Amino acid sequence: MKLTLRVWRQKNADADGAMSTYEVDGISPDMSFLEMLDTLNEELILHGEDPVAFDHDCREGICGACSLVINGDAHGPERTTTCQLHMRSFEDGDTIDIEPWRASAFPVIKDLVVDRSAFDRIIQAGGYITAPTGAAPEAHATPVPKPDADFAFEHAECIGCGACVAACPNGAAMLFTSAKINHLNVLPQGAPERETRVLDMVAQMDEEGFGGCTLTGECATACPKGIPLMSITGMNKEWLRATRKVSKR
Amino acid sequence: MARTVWDSTLGKKTVMAVSGLIMLLYLVVHMIGNLKIFFGAGEFDHYAHWLRTVGEPFMHYEWTLWLVRIVLVAAVVAHAVSAYQLSRRDIRARPSKYVHKRPRASYATRTMRWGGVILGLFIVWHILDLTTGTVHPGFRPGHPYQNVVDTFSTWYGNVIYIVAMLALGLHVRHGFWSAAQTLGAGSRTRDRALKTVADVLALLLTAGFIAVPVGVMTGVVS
Ligand code: HEM
Ligand code: SF4
Ligand code: FES
A32 bridge partner residues: A86
* Residue nearest to ligand 3 atom 3, measured at CA: A61
* Residue nearest to ligand 2 atom 7, measured at CA: A158
- Report the interhelical angle of B9-34 vs A230-248 (nearest 10°): 100
Q: Beta strands A69-70 and A73-74: pairing type?
A: antiparallel
Query: CB count, 10 Å around CB of A190?
Result: 20
Shortest CA distance to A165 belongs to which of B185, B94, B112? B94
B15 lines ligand 1 (CB under 6 A): no
* Rounded Cα–Cα distance for residues A35 and A27 (Å): 9
Question: Are residues A140 and A87 part of one domain?
Answer: no
Complex-level ipTM: 0.91
Tens-digit pLDDT profile for residues A213-242: 999 999 999 999 999 999 999 999 999 999
Question: Are residues A121 and A244 part of one domain?
Answer: yes
Question: Are residues A96 and A34 part of one domain?
Answer: yes
Q: Domain locations in chain B?
A: 2-94+107-217
Among A90, A110, A130, the domain boundary falls at A110
Question: Are residues A130 and A89 part of one domain?
Answer: no
Residue A16's CATH number: 3.10.20.30
Among A110, A143, A166, the domain boundary falls at A110
DSSP characters over A159-188: ----HHHHH-TT---HHHHHHHHHHHHTSG
pLDDT of residue A141: 86
What is the percentage of chain B residues whose pLDDT exceeds 90?
Answer: 90
Residue A182's CATH number: 1.10.1060.10
DSSP characters over B152-174: TTSHHHHHHHHHHHHHHHHHHHH
Question: Are residues A126 and A30 part of one domain?
Answer: no
Q: How far, in Å, are A99, A224, A242, B189 from residue A165 at the CA level?
A: 14, 13, 25, 26
Atom index in ligand 3 nearest the CA of residue A64 equals 3
Q: Say which ligand is closest to the CA of A59.
A: 3
pLDDT of residue A247: 82
3-state SS of chain A: helix, strand, coil percent to 5? Answer: 40, 10, 50
Whole-number Å distance, alpha carbon A105 to ligand 1 midpoint, is 26
Query: Which domain does A144 fall in, by range?
Result: 117-248
Question: Are residues A125 and A92 part of one domain?
Answer: no
Shortest CA distance to A176 belongs to which of A122, A247, A100, A236? A122
Q: How far, in Å, are B75, B76, B80 from residue B85 at the CA level?
A: 15, 14, 9
pTM comes to 0.93
The residue ranges of chain A whose pLDDT is under 70 are none
Tens-digit pLDDT profile for residues A111-121: 999 999 999 99
Tens-digit pLDDT profile for residues B28-79: 999 999 999 999 999 999 999 999 999 999 999 999 999 999 999 999 999 9
pLDDT of residue B107: 67
**Residue B105 confidence class, pLDDT cut points 50, 70, 90:** low
A114 bridge partner residues: A108
Tens-digit pLDDT profile for residues B181-196: 999 999 999 999 999 9
Does residue B88 belong to the interface with chain A, where contact is any CB pair within 8 Å? Answer: no
Q: Is the pLDDT of residue B106 over 70?
A: no
Pocket of ligand 2 (CB under 6 A): A 158-164, 175-176, 179, 222-225, 227
Question: Are residues A129 and A70 part of one domain?
Answer: no
Question: Are residues A212 and A189 part of one domain?
Answer: yes
Q: Which residues in chain A touch residue B185, judged by CB atoms under 8 angstroms apart? A: 233, 237
Question: Are residues A229 and A139 part of one domain?
Answer: yes
Mean pLDDT on B4-13: 94
B119 lines ligand 1 (CB under 6 A): yes
Question: Are residues A66 and A20 part of one domain?
Answer: yes
B86 lines ligand 1 (CB under 6 A): no
Q: Which fold has domain B2-94+107-217?
A: 3 helical TM bundles of succinate and fumarate reductases (1.20.1300)
Question: Are residues A76 and A130 part of one domain?
Answer: no
Q: Which residues in chain B touch residue A234, judged by CB atoms under 8 angstroms apart? A: 184
Does residue B190 belong to the interface with chain A, where contact is any CB pair within 8 Å? Answer: no
Selected residue with higher pLDDT from B5 and A123: A123
Q: Which residues in chain A touch residue B9, judged by CB atoms under 8 angstroms apart? A: 202, 205-206, 211-213
Question: Are residues A212 and A106 part of one domain?
Answer: no
Chain A interface, mutation test: which of B99, B171, B188, B189, most A Cβ atoms within 10 Å?
B99
